[in-house]
Structure 1
Amino acid sequence: MKGVWGLDESENSIFLSWFLTFGVCLFEENPYGWLGSTRIDYEIGDGSSTSAWFDYWCVNGPLCTSISPREIARAGFTLQDTVADVSIGETWNWPEAWRNLFPVLIHADAIQRNLSVQDQVLWMNGNKLHEFSSSEVWNSIRSREPQVDWVNVVWFSQCIPRHAFLMWLIMRRKLLTQDRILRWGADRRRNMNMMCCLLCYENFDSHEHLFFECKFSAQVWRLVRDKPSMSSVQPKRNLIVEWLSERARSKTAANFICRLIVAASAYIIWQERNNRLFRNHARPPDIVADAIVETIRYKLMGTRFKKTPRVMALLQEWEVQEGCLDDNGG
């Protein structure tokens, strides 16, 4: 835990905020670990892989909560002992006096080892026991929200991860645009009086303005939208997302390219905005459009497609050689 804490000790870190909100509660309610030991169960087999003192194999919890390390050492045991180490055959090997000192051991008498099978760790989700796995634990402790209708527009097989992540931020309106900064307070508003969109030098930039109502962004969009046959889609984020959502479940190469080019356009326009803000470096719309097209072309060169006449024609339009085609339809 000390190593995890050292990952990010800054006052405003995401980890620290999460830990103070959720982690402390987990430790207070379950002192045996952040997963919540009351939800972990052990099915004893031969006892060779279950800790005698620290694992949750007894009804009342780990034995270390009742028996101190000093008492364990005095009885000739070690903290590394397994359940198999503290038993002989079908009987327990601890001192007889312990039964009076530690009533928790009475419950252990009902547990019999099965020497023919290995120990098994189980995870209790509600009233049901499942074989322990990280996915099972995650699915039972995570919070769930309704699936948004744009999920397949942002996240899909063979997407470009950094582009998809930025699209996710855009859809959740989490980018640090000027309209959001203006809502921080009066002091910051005074500093923003001379600010405007660095792409078109009109209005404040916002998610709607940058993607793609800004004159600069709209011009870039009109230069690239014909390539994936989206010429009828107007440069407005909600219209573009609606158009993609209607086709999001389609697995055709054409619709795959449409999603790629929208994400790449958003990413490179945001990159252009930041370059102008922090580096004082500006590019004209046609150069930005060329960067978007080249990014998609390189992506297509590394993607495998089913070899069909339609796909061959599509790749030829993008000047991609047929080496990425798969004859067996993979």
Structure 2
Amino acid sequence: MIWQAYISPKFTFILWLGIRERLSTRDRLAFRQEKTSCSSCINISESAKHLFFDCPFSERVWSDIRKWLGINSHMSTILSAIKWLKKEKTGSSVQNKARLLALACTVYSLWRHRNEVIFEAKVPSTKGLVIFTKITVFGMLLFFFPQEIFAL
């Protein structure tokens, strides 16, 4: 379900690594370094689950994205989010595609943002990440499905 032509390969690859818990999060790299705390909230050890769903930073991002897409369900893992999307195919096909694309884009954006905070000393910004995700999702949908977008 995650390998779709309308989803950027870099989004899908990060999503796939996240599902398999193979991203190089700090808890997985602990043997190489001493610092394992989350780059956004500093207090908790950074695991994939924490980074993408439990961190207060990512919770704020997901809250905005869920509101934008009309999703009421709370997601706790990438796999549970994908299962929910498969089960809850409501609305038009472009809306379902937007939800899957938004999931992939948000996971990728959170990963990219985490790397920018660690390696480029950028300040965490939920607003910037949400805006980037919305623009990217809309742009990709407009590129791949212009007729369906204008029919909404």
Q: TM-score higher than 0.5 here?
A: yes
**Closer, same or farther in 2 for the Cα pair 1:227/1:312, shift >3 Å?**
farther
Of Structure 1 and Structure 2, which has the larger fraction of its residues in strand? Answer: 1
Question: Equivalents in 1 of 2:136, 2:115: separation in Å?
Answer: 18
2:151 to 312, 316, 322: 312
Offset at 1:275? 0.5
- Which residue pairs with 1:166 in the alignment? 14
Q: Which has the larger radius of gyration?
A: 1
CA contact (8 A) 1:212 1:235 kept: yes
Change (3 A) 1:247 1:305: farther
Give RMSD over aligned pairs. Answer: 2.2
Match of 2:54 in 1: 213
Q: From the superposition, tell whether residues 264 and 156 of structure 1 become closer, same or farther in structure 2 (CA, over 3 Å).
A: same
User: Normalising by the residue count of structure 2, what TM-score does the alignment of the two structures yield?
Assistant: 0.87
2:74 aligned residue = 234
| Aligned equivalents of 2:146, 2:88: Cα separation in 1 | 18
Trace 1:280-319 onto structure 2 (pairs within 5 A): 280-307=121-148, 312-313=151-152
Distance in 1, matches of 2:56 and 2:103, equals: 17
Equivalences for 1:117-196 in 2 at 5 Å? 152=1, 154-182=2-30, 184=31, 188=32, 191-192=33-34, 194-196=35-37
1:223-262 paired onto structure 2 within 5 Å: 223-230=64-71, 232-237=72-77, 238-247=79-88, 252-262=93-103
Gaps of 5+ in 1: 1-151, 314-330
TM-score by length of 1: 0.42
Mapped partners of 1:247, 1:196: distance in 2? 35
State how far apart, in whole Å, the 1-side matches of 2:102 and 2:113 are. 16
Q: Counterparts of 1:195 and 1:155 in 2: how far apart (Å)?
A: 31
Using CA pairs under 8 Å that are at least 6 residues apart, name the structure with larger relative contact order, 1 or 2: 2
Distance 1:267 1:229 in 2: 21
Structure 2, unaligned runs of 5 or more = none
Give the share of equivalent positions with the same residue, in percent: 24
The one-letter code of the counterpart of 1:175 is: L
Q: 1 or 2, which has the higher helix percentage?
A: 2
8 Å Cα contact 2:7-2:101 kept in structure 1: yes
Whether contact under 8 Å (1:196, 1:203) holds in the other structure is: yes
Q: 2:40·2:124 contact (CA, 8 Å) conserved in 1?
A: no
